[in-house]
Copies of this chain bind each other. A is one copy, B any other.
């Protein structure tokens, strides 16, 4: 980014400003990244807190490597504070705790690891990228549907473009496919390239994968853990979001993200609360 160039919307909406007190940052939770009921998206909050964590460590070439969020209470759009605490500075990575506070109440508590990240291929193991119809086909199929759950598009759908594999779009017509899996192309509407920070948004950008099992009310995330594995190549991401087991009022969901070079760049797992019909 060169001086004077306007910030991409994602960067503008995840900006953190030192408020004067050591490790405390002022932020503004923006309407553009809200989903149902005006709640900011969980991945958006994770990215915003990730930016504060990297700023707190003070080494700009470091990135969030892992992040686990406990969603204590949903924050609202508007001003908020981020408290950061560098728990340990390490040679290869530092541990940072960040807490999003609004009205003197902790809303999201995140433990993060901030360290170096390369884009080298794996030394061992791989998770093959799913085969999806091309992005245009997925985009056309997605535009032809509207989620009956959200009563139309949430604000975030205007700034983050999700083009779903038509084979995993049953939920959008109120007829879950039954496989408990969604696959989609993901890009920013303004084509901002993905960097490691934006991958924190990508791991929680899809609707609940449980919608492909059953049409329920909202499925709030209780705990979300993300690992960022590599710097992504330019171009749209591919995302797979799957339900594991629904039991005892809770579901585990796994998300995997590949870049345009089919490299696995991020993974997440979350536990969410669900009321089955």
Contacts and interface: CB of A to CB of B under 8 A. Distances in A.
Contacts of A22: none
Contacts of A88: 72-73
A247 interface: yes
A134 interface: no
A271 B115 CA distance: 13
B113 A245 contact: no
A117 interface: yes
B92 A70 contact: no
Contacts of A246: 122-125
A120 to B, nearest CB: 6
Interface residues of A, number: 51
Interface string A241-276: 001111111101000000000001001010101001
Nearest to A70: B111
A68 B65 contact: no
B180 A125 contact: yes
Of the listed residues A68, A214, A222, A276, the one surrounded by the most CB atoms of chain B closer than 10 A to its CB is: A68
A66 to B, nearest CB: 5
11 contacts: A65-B250, A66-B222, A117-B248, A123-B246, A124-B214, A125-B246, A227-B252, A229-B247, A229-B252, A230-B247, A269-B269
Given A229-B252, A230-B248, 14 more contacts: A65-B222, A70-B87, A70-B111, A70-B113, A72-B87, A113-B222, A113-B271, A122-B246, A124-B180, A124-B214, A125-B246, A127-B244, A229-B247, A244-B267
